[in-house]
Structure 1
């Protein structure tokens, strides 16, 4: 399997914050605890071991066993769940929305990054065990972000009859209506052994499970059970009960807001875009499928757009009696995760790591160890034929990631038999006008403005001529331009990273298990490079 790589900065798809984090820029050091390097895990293990109680382990194990009730569990996954009862077992975690049929390819990259890191750590620290966790965002409410997937350039969308009828937490959504999506998918994916397996997966996940949580658990389990992946939701009362003291601090002291507000301001002052701005209370009220913000006003607590309100004493009593009704938002969910898991490292995308970097002071205020933050693996998958086309077009891997107009302009300039770069002419013009400026200084200084205006006009004229010449050459070289655009459109659907657009089924239908085997072989989460993987023709 041929493999290449480029740096994340060369892709032009990652934020300044993430690139600076990967380079361990000094100004970002206050926002994380330990950088995810293999030599730093031992200290993280010791710290988490001392803070995570055996009582919490017992609750976690029993909850996971309940969640897997009725699921065909592999020996590897069962062993991992049982191992979590020991104080020498730790987790590596990633989280993901309940996207329809996994959503984009990076769903696989996240989970494979987690599984591969547990293997690396076990080899380095054989005296400990490491469990890969996929945290399902069952309480998320962004239905529009998860109700579709892209296959062969077509969008397959699920229009739930429940969404908009009071069900906000997507994990509670009925899978009704997905039969129509399955039929369209079956028609598109075609035949063959691997296509039939994909139909089997979709049908058993979405037509034989009553809600989106259980459908997603089935799907992820089928894909990764042999690797020991543990799939969990966190809406269970026994897990929410462990979070009661922290939710109480949020309601009474607005602790997350007070501790993260300063960090968001610091990040902004350093020139970084802030991913999430905290609310004064970062908890939702979750009941009967609806999920709405909790608001404090004039000493009382209210549920946004609901006829529900409490005194301080009443809402604390509700929290202790019905902890499952309180749902953390994006600012509190990381703390909830680290409270109920013996976790060492969170693996996520750039956007996820950006909001985690706002939270270190909040964790310190709650006396919960802050995990290591590791950017998930990224990859571009190409065929041998596409690679050969790229070489014939004389496009480097780095150039492939340019915006399309930049790539085409660069290649047209390179392959043209005339010089389209007017830089020399512009430089000559600037020098000529410098003599005019010298002359104006010796005569009437009001003449300077006229000279400047004329210089600007003539430089703009050269720019215009250069663009017209480039446009003319594009027409002349339209075959080359067409081939360049076609190749890039294949590898960057919707002019975006492939991993953010393409569903795994499109590649699996061609390569089957080879897809997963290849990703497991080449995606090393501690290697901070963007991988380019080439598949042979089948």
Structure 2
């Protein structure tokens, strides 16, 4: 395994500047995360504000119960033992639970959290625990109910999807999945993965995870634990009902200071757009930025007519009524994308949070909100980014003189250029000359015929268009024949694009890890951890 740095196109100009030109965005985020002093200052601030977070012992007791069920490893027990001690810090990051762990970026986020925690521990000479925040309170089922693999038979991208038999907009962690749906998903996975030495072990591992799970989040946690528990990665499900009592005081402050929070989000959003960046999260002027669970449906609250309500007015509360409901039923409350960062830092002593590029961009909206809640934005670390390049594709790229940047930006152009070089007939030039010769003969003809009758000129022009169309049709057929002549080779070109940028997106955003574990063995994740070395925000290509 060899690792080389290669730039990858960013989806956000704000995230790009955060990573590559921090001075441009200092006003949005604060001190530069590259500086050692920034880390020391953050550690000191956490020490000074221990009383602003929930009780460590109470939090760890909940995490012990959760991890004992889904992530019971000696290293995790050690991490939780350390987390209970004052002064222990956390590097965290999170993701929605996905089918069979979802796309590769989830795996890379977990790797980044682990690597960054190790380095922070060395830098600060202080215990630092890695924590993965499972966003199980999210209710967008369509974002998490599927995953993509490369079909062993067709070499095409295959989608495995799981339907939800309930129409309620409930949190993923509260959405039960039938055994029949699980069985069908596993069958689809088994049918898609080609036979290998470890395929049966993979299927067995997934079946075990599913048989101990009531929902997608539980299965996700078990699989993550199987992969990363031995590295001490602690798992936290944000939908864990036992957390709500601990979170209740934070929700209370969010409700009491809701107008202030709303103004801070609006001010930050305006600042971001004034600097020429696009917003990566909606900032509604009337938004309460909290969800309320009502009859199994997770409703986003807004403020209208002095009350908190959902858009359809299924629920409506005065501020006092909402606070009373929080005291009676804290389990009905959850965060949205803008309040979740504050809740995370109210629970955990976060020295640094690992974020993807989209997250980096929308966290800029929350900086002032942290201050309103007597908090301070943590250090934000860009998630490590990788593309796995298999040996066969390496050979093809070398054969055709393709670089990673060629594949990213101009693969189709290079493919057409290669095919043109194989064209001994020079089809393009041949048909250009043919059209030119035809027009040189035909145009004078219809000019002469128009002297007999004006209508013949119009008829001739229409006839000319039809003949040109037929010539173009023949040209397309000739090019099709050329492609068919080189079909096997062109499939190699197409496979390069499919594996590195499936569906036109970075590999890490599409493919599931089990495609690679099935091909390269269950130790692949361990190999990546060992061979990628220190934390780096640069995108890297891993040559397998």
Change (3 A) 1:368 1:508: same
> In the alignment, what sits opposite 2:441?
none
- CA deviation digits over 1:118-173, x for unaligned, max 9? 122223333x11111111111101110110111222111101212x1x24211111
CA apart distance, 1:75:
1.1
1:24 aligns with 2:21: yes
> In the alignment, what sits opposite 2:191?
187
Q: Would the aligned equivalents of 1:416 and 1:473 in 2 still touch at CA under 8 Å? A: no
Q: How does 1:245-264 map to 2 (within 5 A)?
A: 245-252=249-256, 253-264=258-269
> In the alignment, what sits opposite 1:266?
271
Q: Would the aligned equivalents of 1:112 and 1:523 in 2 still touch at CA under 8 Å? A: no
> In the alignment, what sits opposite 2:292?
285
Q: Would the aligned equivalents of 2:171 and 2:239 in 1 still touch at CA under 8 Å? A: no
Q: Would the aligned equivalents of 2:97 and 2:134 in 1 still touch at CA under 8 Å? A: yes
Rounded to whole Å, the distance in 2 between the matches of 1:359 and 1:178 is 38
Change (3 A) 1:55 1:247: closer
> In the alignment, what sits opposite 2:362?
355
> In the alignment, what sits opposite 1:143?
141
Change (3 A) 1:237 1:498: closer
CA apart distance, 1:524:
4.9
> In the alignment, what sits opposite 1:492?
501
Rounded to whole Å, the distance in 2 between the matches of 1:208 and 1:237 is 19
1:102 aligns with 2:101: yes
Rounded to whole Å, the distance in 2 between the matches of 1:217 and 1:226 is 14
Rounded to whole Å, the distance in 2 between the matches of 1:502 and 1:356 is 26
DSSP-derived class of the 1:359 partner: helix
- CA deviation digits over 1:220-267, x for unaligned, max 9? 111111111100113345533444444334434423221011111121
Change (3 A) 1:371 1:199: same
Rounded to whole Å, the distance in 2 between the matches of 1:136 and 1:511 is 27
> In the alignment, what sits opposite 1:80?
79
CA apart distance, 1:312:
2.6
DSSP-derived class of the 2:55 partner: helix
> In the alignment, what sits opposite 1:130?
128
Ranges in structure 2 where 5+ consecutive residues have no aligned partner: 151-156, 427-474
Change (3 A) 1:396 1:191: closer
DSSP-derived class of the 1:138 partner: coil
Q: Would the aligned equivalents of 2:272 and 2:279 in 1 still touch at CA under 8 Å? A: yes
Change (3 A) 1:395 1:534: same
Rounded to whole Å, the distance in 1 between the matches of 2:371 and 2:244 is 21
Alignment TM-score, normalising by the size of structure 1: 0.82
Change (3 A) 1:45 1:242: same
CA apart distance, 1:191:
4.2
> In the alignment, what sits opposite 1:322?
329
Rounded to whole Å, the distance in 2 between the matches of 1:416 and 1:119 is 56
Rounded to whole Å, the distance in 1 between the matches of 2:418 and 2:378 is 45
Q: Would the aligned equivalents of 1:147 and 1:158 in 2 still touch at CA under 8 Å? A: yes
Q: Would the aligned equivalents of 1:32 and 1:357 in 2 still touch at CA under 8 Å? A: yes
Q: Would the aligned equivalents of 2:148 and 2:512 in 1 still touch at CA under 8 Å? A: yes
Equivalent in 172, 179, 193 of residue 170 of structure 1: 172
Change (3 A) 1:500 1:369: same
CA apart distance, 1:322:
2.2
> In the alignment, what sits opposite 1:67?
66
Q: Would the aligned equivalents of 2:147 and 2:159 in 1 still touch at CA under 8 Å? A: yes
Rounded to whole Å, the distance in 2 between the matches of 1:472 and 1:87 is 74
CA apart distance, 1:490:
2.9
Deviates more, 1:284-293 or 1:146-155: 284-293
DSSP-derived class of the 2:409 partner: coil
DSSP-derived class of the 2:312 partner: coil
Ranges in structure 1 where 5+ consecutive residues have no aligned partner: 420-468
1:507 aligns with 2:521: no
> In the alignment, what sits opposite 1:34?
31
Q: Would the aligned equivalents of 1:264 and 1:277 in 2 still touch at CA under 8 Å? A: no
> In the alignment, what sits opposite 1:432?
none
Q: Would the aligned equivalents of 1:249 and 1:255 in 2 still touch at CA under 8 Å? A: no
DSSP-derived class of the 1:513 partner: coil
**Alignment size in residue pairs:** 484
- CA deviation digits over 1:83-136, x for unaligned, max 9? 11112211111111110001111111000011011122223333x111111111
Equivalent in 187, 206, 209 of residue 202 of structure 1: 206
Q: Would the aligned equivalents of 1:250 and 1:282 in 2 still touch at CA under 8 Å? A: no
Equivalent in 395, 400, 408 of residue 402 of structure 2: 395
DSSP-derived class of the 1:47 partner: helix
Q: Would the aligned equivalents of 1:239 and 1:340 in 2 still touch at CA under 8 Å? A: no
Rounded to whole Å, the distance in 2 between the matches of 1:265 and 1:472 is 56
DSSP-derived class of the 1:281 partner: strand
DSSP-derived class of the 1:174 partner: coil
Rounded to whole Å, the distance in 2 between the matches of 1:33 and 1:254 is 24
Rounded to whole Å, the distance in 2 between the matches of 1:411 and 1:525 is 39
Q: Would the aligned equivalents of 2:103 and 2:147 in 1 still touch at CA under 8 Å? A: yes
Equivalent in 532, 538, 541 of residue 523 of structure 1: 532
